[in-house]
Amino acid sequence: MHPHENDLNDVGQSDSLPAVEPFYQTLKKQGLILTKSRPTILQVNTGFLCNQVCRHCHLDAGPHRKELMGRETMEQVFAIAAHPQFDTIDVTGGAPELHPDLLWFLAQLRPLAPKVILRSNLTVLAEKGTPMMTQLKELGITIVASMPSLNEAQADTLRGQGVFSNSIETLRQLNRMGYGQAESDLELDLVANPAGAFLPPSQCELEQRFKKRLQQKWRIKFNNLYSFANVPLGRFQVWLRRSGNYTDYMQKLANAFNPASVEGLMCRTILSVAWDGFLYDCDFNQAAGIHMGKRKTHITELELPLKPEHKIATGDHCYTCTAGAGFT
Ligand code: SF4
């Protein structure tokens, strides 16, 4: 991110009602231009198929979605993942566990980067059971799991009946296998997001609260907790509009714009690959349909390293990442 005179903000696009100033104009007023740093994380979305229909999902993932990454695209991903600039491969969805080739995919990726992450909603991991968990452990895959709330009723309202107790049991099983334990290399991280149209408390404070409660009540341990505000896209945007919260929520995010957060935004260090092999600056832009740098580029056309002045395409959903301490 370079503050300078040149106006590169035209990569921006406005995806909200005129309730807030377009994000790119806010950047421009601050003299900021959002450009890629050297991406070190390759994020791969294996498809939108999911076993849950969470209210806050920015991708509108669910059992009704049929998009899944094909083997040919997965093989094209290997060629890019092997580039030495990537130290982390982050596999996400939907629920990647539902992809029939997931374990093969992870096994091929594992030697290519020091860290390979699997995003999980926990209930699908419970469905796949011990055989899948054992293979993840043997491959040394880091698990980043959604755990939206410590309140059972709230979690079940957001994610579906029985999700909370199922998630607790899965975390306990992962702990028994060595995940999240201080003496183990098997990393288990949690992701929490607010139950509605408001900003989360500080990540540090929330991590302490989750650690204390999960340990005291269920003897569950984990490594790190990440929290972020819900992104006003996909199913969450539909809910915001239907409930009459959209304008207020956008204003809340825009009012909390923190210019200091821009330097560390995750889109600066991530390349996001969609299930069909097309590239995005981040997973949220994928949900918004805004291609990387606003150019439709397939992974087979990607040339690394990117030019240092590579511009990041933005939309008004970007206010989610720059609110308060920011989402990095
Ligand atoms: S949504 Fe966030 S991560 Fe994505 S381009 Fe906007 S600011 Fe960057």
For the stretch 118-127, pLDDT in tens is 999 999 999 9
Spacing, Cα 182 to ligand 1 middle (Å): 32
Q: For the segment 265-303, what is each residue's pLDDT rounded down to a tens digit?
A: 999 999 999 999 999 999 999 999 999 999 999 999 999
| Residue with token string 């740093």 | 37
Q: How far apart are CA 52 and CA 232, in angstroms?
A: 19
Domain-embedded: residue 135 = yes
**Number of neighbours of residue 94 by Cβ within 10 angstroms:** 28
> Which among 199, 206, 226, 201 is positioned nearest to 319, based on CA atoms?
199
Question: What are the structure tokens assigned to 109, written together?
Answer: 């990726």
Domain-embedded: residue 328 = no
Q: How far apart are CA 247 and CA 252, in angstroms?
A: 9
How many domains are contained in the chain?
1
Domain-embedded: residue 327 = no
Domain-embedded: residue 291 = yes
Q: How far apart are CA 267 and CA 314, in angstroms?
A: 10
Domain-embedded: residue 3 = no
pLDDT at 284: 95
Query: Quick check: 242 pLDDT over 80?
Result: yes
Domain-embedded: residue 175 = yes
Q: Do the beta carbons of residue 117 and residue 141 sit within 8 Å?
A: yes
- Averaged confidence pLDDT in the chain: 90
266 lines ligand 1 (CB under 6 A): yes
Q: Do the beta carbons of residue 6 and residue 237 sit within 8 Å?
A: no
| Residue with token string 């825009």 | 254
CATH of the domain at 62: 3.20.20
- Average the pLDDT over 299-312 and give the result: 90
Query: Quick check: 72 pLDDT over 90?
Result: yes
Residues for the chain: how many in total?
328
pLDDT at 267: 96
Nearest-CA residue for atom 8 of ligand 1? 267
Is the preceding omega at residue 326 within 30 degrees of 0, hence cis? Answer: no
* Index of the ligand 1 atom closest to the CA of residue 318: 6
314 lines ligand 1 (CB under 6 A): yes
> Which among 268, 248, 255, 226 is positioned nearest to 324, based on CA atoms?
255
The boundaries of the domain holding residue 281 are 9-322
Q: For the segment 3-35, what is each residue's pLDDT rounded down to a tens digit?
A: 333 333 344 444 444 679 999 999 999 999 999
Which helix or strand (DSSP H or E) is residue 120 part of? strand 115-120
287 lines ligand 1 (CB under 6 A): no
pLDDT at 259: 95
Which one has a higher pLDDT value, 65 or 57?
A: 65
Domain-embedded: residue 312 = yes
Domain-embedded: residue 2 = no
Q: Which of 45, 268, 314 to mutate to test the pocket of ligand 1 (most atoms within 8 A of CB)?
A: 314
Q: For the segment 167-209, what is each residue's pLDDT rounded down to a tens digit?
A: 999 999 999 999 999 889 999 999 998 878 888 888 999 999 9
Spacing, Cα 318 to ligand 1 middle (Å): 5
253 lines ligand 1 (CB under 6 A): no
Nearest-CA residue for atom 1 of ligand 1? 318
As a whole number of Å, the CA-based R_g of the chain is: 19
